[in-house]
């Protein structure tokens, strides 16, 4: 990747969120970074991205020719799924398996319900069509593909206005020959249709999850390709010629060409940047256990760094739809600054998951919003200075926020507007704390062993209260917290996740088979990295095994040092099973379900500038803040004025351009040697 070491090079990372588009600009010569924000243009996010690049260039003094690479995290795929803005799709599967998507898994959220929950079906039954063929689980062809019905299938798809086709045949993960034949037929006879083959998208066992993932991938292909074409045209018009890398759910980046073919790998593109930032900060701060929380305008994302590493999982869900692809383990709930507060008919106060988004946004944005939000509550409570939002670039309507909360929440509850606003904040904090508890407890982890890492534009206003509720006594507010997810993308590598599914016992007979599978994966991995232009000295090939006890329906991913060192992987599996599920059957030989390889191309990492602390200054003023049922005069500090020797006692407010932090009573605040802020809870220790 020679373009990353040019004499004059600026690497730019862009995280397109639901409300704001965040940018981080890195000067690769000096290691200096610059942060910028601009409202997201939801109708076409590429428009806001270009606006952000132009504004950043004008502000920080760089031209399009100075940009050596653009790292781009996007929610275009996720939003298309959530909003069901997807093209008409069709599914080709093995005859007799047309209803796999509708049957799904036997899982009931309400165990006492007498009716099944409705399933999200992206393809209607009339467009789920079967072909006669049969491949065995070991990859042997039992019945050759009967191609006589393909012409009829294409005709039915055309009559149904199908634009995207998913091909998911039985046991294609073991042998994709028949899927390849169907793909070739469609390319010749229906070139207008996008086609996704399951053995290329998700070559894994479990028909339902593989079918769901392949369908999502197929339906997203025209959506993401259209977005990338618009982005490419806008970049060219603006004079940007630098290569673009799309951030994937696994934390790595890939080319636009690969992203257009496998867009399902972008479904957690934006949040993964925050997880990468957390892992980087874990090493820099020498804090191996972090709970990373990213609160933006629309969502609240929780990821865990344990022993210095984020956790990768092999399956997630988007709006209840399974996605069987490697991704960083991130829990997302609808609790952002734009989350709407409302009072139900029962008198219960709810916050989210509905969001006011970027347009119209919270009432205080003056863009036509009428529903009170978490941001409106913070303005009403005095936590946010309406004249200093986004560093003063956006003037907020404090009175409008107060009136909206008063009319739509306070009057219904019979309380003051300020009390209602405090209640909105408390409900939001409760929801955020619940998401963190689930993320920790399901892994067998204790909150007291962790530090909360707070970032995102809205997180600092609630971080200490959230930490208190779950029993965490230390909170980190990193540099540029409002754009930290974009900053994390600067540390991405090129990553291709490759898989071979093979069910076998992890015994003495397994290593020779593993050697064969790993050799095949390594050959494929070297080819894709060479195609990306990654030099041999920058190639890295970590191996993993999906393992389980016989009879289990779930697996645990464990590192594999080498096929010949299977015993070490088995020992790790037992240890991880004990940590996550509080029991381990060490006398039982586990099963291997799949072998995974993360074909990694190391990109040049930013050089950290040493932090130059100051002797410190004074609070820039006092502001009335509503807390604990009453107004209190509270010191307000500019972040840059807090000296390295300072130790500030809460309550206080800390302001910076893209974030505000509320430090309550019983907490102290200081600056670390790296320039990050650390808040420590003291009240519990004293009691």
Q: For the segment 137-154, what is each residue's pLDDT rounded down to a tens digit? A: 989 999 999 998 899 999
**The two domains 270-311+428-489 and 494-601 share their CATH topology (first three levels equal):** no
- pLDDT 10s digits, 506-516: 999 999 999 99
- Smallest CA-to-CA distance from 517 within 536, 499, 497 is with 499
- pLDDT 10s digits, 352-383: 888 887 678 899 999 898 999 999 999 999 99
pLDDT of residue 2: 40
pLDDT of residue 463: 96
| Average pLDDT over every residue of 196-204 | 94
- pLDDT 10s digits, 257-296: 999 999 999 988 878 889 999 999 999 999 999 999 999 8
- pLDDT 10s digits, 625-682: 999 889 999 999 999 889 888 889 989 999 998 899 999 999 999 998 888 999 999 8
Q: Distance from CA of residue 446 to its chain's centroid?
A: 23
Whole-model pTM: value is: 0.85
pLDDT of residue 444: 83
d(CA 218, CA 127): 14
pLDDT of residue 556: 92
Strands 20-27 and 33-39, bridge-based pairing: antiparallel
Could you give the strand order of the β-sheet that contains 89-94, starting from the edge strand earlier in sequence?
Answer: 128-131, 89-94, 164-168, 194-197
Look at residue 454 and tell me whether its pLDDT is greater than 50: yes
pLDDT bracket for residue 684 (50, 70, 90): low
pLDDT of residue 609: 73
| Element of type H or E holding 128 | strand 128-131
Supply 541's token pair.
């090939």
- pLDDT 10s digits, 26-36: 888 887 888 89
| Element of type H or E holding 273 | helix 269-285
Of 170-184, 188-202, 218-232, 330-344, the poorest mean pLDDT is in 330-344
pLDDT of residue 8: 56
Strands 89-94 and 128-131, bridge-based pairing: parallel
Residue 379 phi/psi, 5° resolution?
-70, -45
Q: Which sequence spans correspond to the domains of the chain? A: 2-81+227-266, 84-225, 270-311+428-489, 494-601, 621-680
How would DSSP label each residue in 307-376? TTEEPEES-EEETTEEE-S-EE-EEEES-STTEEEEE-TTS-EEEEEEE-TTTT--GGGTSS--S-BHHH
Q: Provide the 3-class DSSP secondary structure of residue 199.
A: helix
What is the CATH topology of the domain spanning 494-601? Answer: Dna Ligase; domain 1 (3.30.1490)
pLDDT of residue 437: 94
| Average pLDDT over every residue of 175-181 | 96
pLDDT bracket for residue 685 (50, 70, 90): very low
pLDDT bracket for residue 5 (50, 70, 90): very low
Assess contact for 131 and 149: CB atoms under 8 A.
yes
Of 17-21, 180-184, 274-278, 559-563, the poorest mean pLDDT is in 17-21
Strands 543-548 and 659-663, bridge-based pairing: unpaired
| Average pLDDT over every residue of 181-185 | 97
pLDDT of residue 209: 94
Residue predicted with more confidence, 687 or 52: 52
CA angle (220, 225, 228) in 5-degree steps: 125
Mean per-residue pLDDT over the chain, rounded:
90
CATH code for the domain defined by 2-81+227-266? 3.30.420.40
pLDDT of residue 4: 41
Q: Does domain 270-311+428-489 have CATH number 3.90.180.10?
A: no
DSSP code of 588?
S
């Amino acid at each position: 990747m020679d373009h990353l070491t040019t004499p004059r090079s600026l690497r730019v990372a862009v995280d397109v969120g639901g409300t704001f588009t965040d940018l981080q600009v890195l000067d690769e010569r000096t290691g200096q970074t610059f942060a910028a924000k601009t409202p997201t243009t939801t109708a076409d996010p590429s428009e806001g991205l270009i606006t952000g690049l132009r504004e950043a260039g004008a502000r920080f003094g760089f031209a399009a020719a100075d940009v050596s690479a653009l790292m781009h995290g996007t929610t275009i795929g996720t939003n298309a799924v959530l909003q069901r803005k997807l093209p008409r799709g069709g599914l080709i599967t093995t005859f007799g398996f047309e209803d796999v998507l509708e049957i799904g898994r036997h899982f009931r959220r309400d165990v006492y319900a007498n009716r099944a929950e409705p399933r999200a079906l992206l393809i209607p039954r009339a467009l789920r069509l079967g072909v006669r063929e049969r491949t065995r689980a070991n990859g042997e062809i039992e019945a050759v593909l009967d191609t006589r019905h393909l012409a009829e299938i294409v005709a039915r798809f055309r009559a149904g206005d199908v634009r995207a086709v998913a091909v998911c045949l039985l046991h294609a993960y073991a042998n994709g020959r028949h899927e390849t034949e169907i793909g070739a037929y469609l390319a010749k006879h229906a070139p207008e249709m996008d086609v996704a083959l399951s053995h290329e998208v998700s070559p894994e066992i479990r028909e339902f999850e593989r079918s769901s993932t392949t369908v999502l991938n197929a339906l997203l292909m025209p959506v993401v390709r259209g977005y990338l074409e618009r982005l490419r045209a806008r970049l060219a018009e603006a004079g940007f010629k630098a290569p673009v890398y799309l951030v994937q759910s696994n934390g790595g980046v890939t080319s636009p060409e690969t992203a257009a073919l496998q867009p399902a790998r972008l479904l957690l593109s934006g949040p993964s940047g925050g997880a990468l930032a957390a892992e980087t900060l874990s090493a820099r701060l020498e804090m191996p256990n972090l709970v990373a929380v990213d609160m933006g305008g629309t969502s609240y994302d929780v990821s865990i760094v344990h022993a210095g590493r984020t956790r990768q999982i092999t399956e997630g869900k988007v709006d209840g739809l399974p996605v069987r692809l490697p991704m960083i383990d991130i829990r997302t709930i609808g609790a952002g600054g734009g989350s709407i507060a409302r009072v139900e008919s029962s008198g219960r106060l709810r916050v989210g998951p509905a969001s006011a988004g970027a347009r119209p946004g919270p009432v205080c944005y003056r863009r036509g919003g009428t529903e009170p939000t978490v941001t409106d509550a913070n303005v009403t409570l005095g936590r946010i200075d309406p004249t200093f939002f986004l560093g003063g670039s956006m003037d907020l309507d404090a009175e409008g926020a107060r009136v909206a909360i008063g009319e739509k929440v306070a009057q219904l509850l019979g309380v003051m507007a300020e009390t209602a606003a405090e209640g909105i904040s408390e409900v939001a904090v409760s929801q955020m704390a619940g998401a963190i508890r689930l993320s920790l407890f399901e892994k067998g982890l204790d909150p007291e062993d962790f530090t909360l890492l707070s970032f995102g534009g809205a997180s600092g206003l609630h971080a200490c209260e959230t930490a208190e509720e779950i029993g965490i006594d230390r909170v980190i507010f990193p540099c540029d917290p409002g754009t930290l997810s974009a900053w994390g993308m600067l540390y991405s590598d090129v990553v291709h996740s490759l898989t071979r599914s093979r069910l076998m016992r992890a015994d003495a007979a397994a290593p020779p088979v593993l050697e064969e599978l790993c050799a095949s994966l390594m050959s494929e991995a070297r080819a894709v990295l060479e195609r990306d232009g990654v030099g041999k000295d920058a190639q890295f090939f970590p191996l993993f095994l999906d393992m389980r006890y016989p009879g289990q329906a779930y697996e645990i991913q464990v590192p594999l040092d080498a096929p010949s060192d299977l015993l070490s992987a088995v020992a790790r599996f037992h240890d991880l099973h004990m940590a996550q599920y509080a029991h381990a059957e060490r006398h039982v030989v586990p099963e291997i379900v799949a072998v995974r390889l993360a074909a990694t191309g190391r990109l040049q990492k930013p050089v950290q500038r040493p932090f130059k602390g100051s002797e410190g200054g004074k609070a820039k003023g006092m502001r009335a803040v509503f807390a604990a049922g009453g107004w209190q005069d509270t010191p307000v500090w500019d972040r840059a004025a807090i000296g390295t020797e300072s130790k500030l006692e809460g309550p206080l407010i800390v302001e910076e351009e893209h974030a505000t932090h509320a430090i309550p009573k019983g907490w102290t605040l200081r600056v670390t040697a790296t320039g990050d802020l650390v808040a420590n809870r003291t009240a519990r220790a004293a009691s």
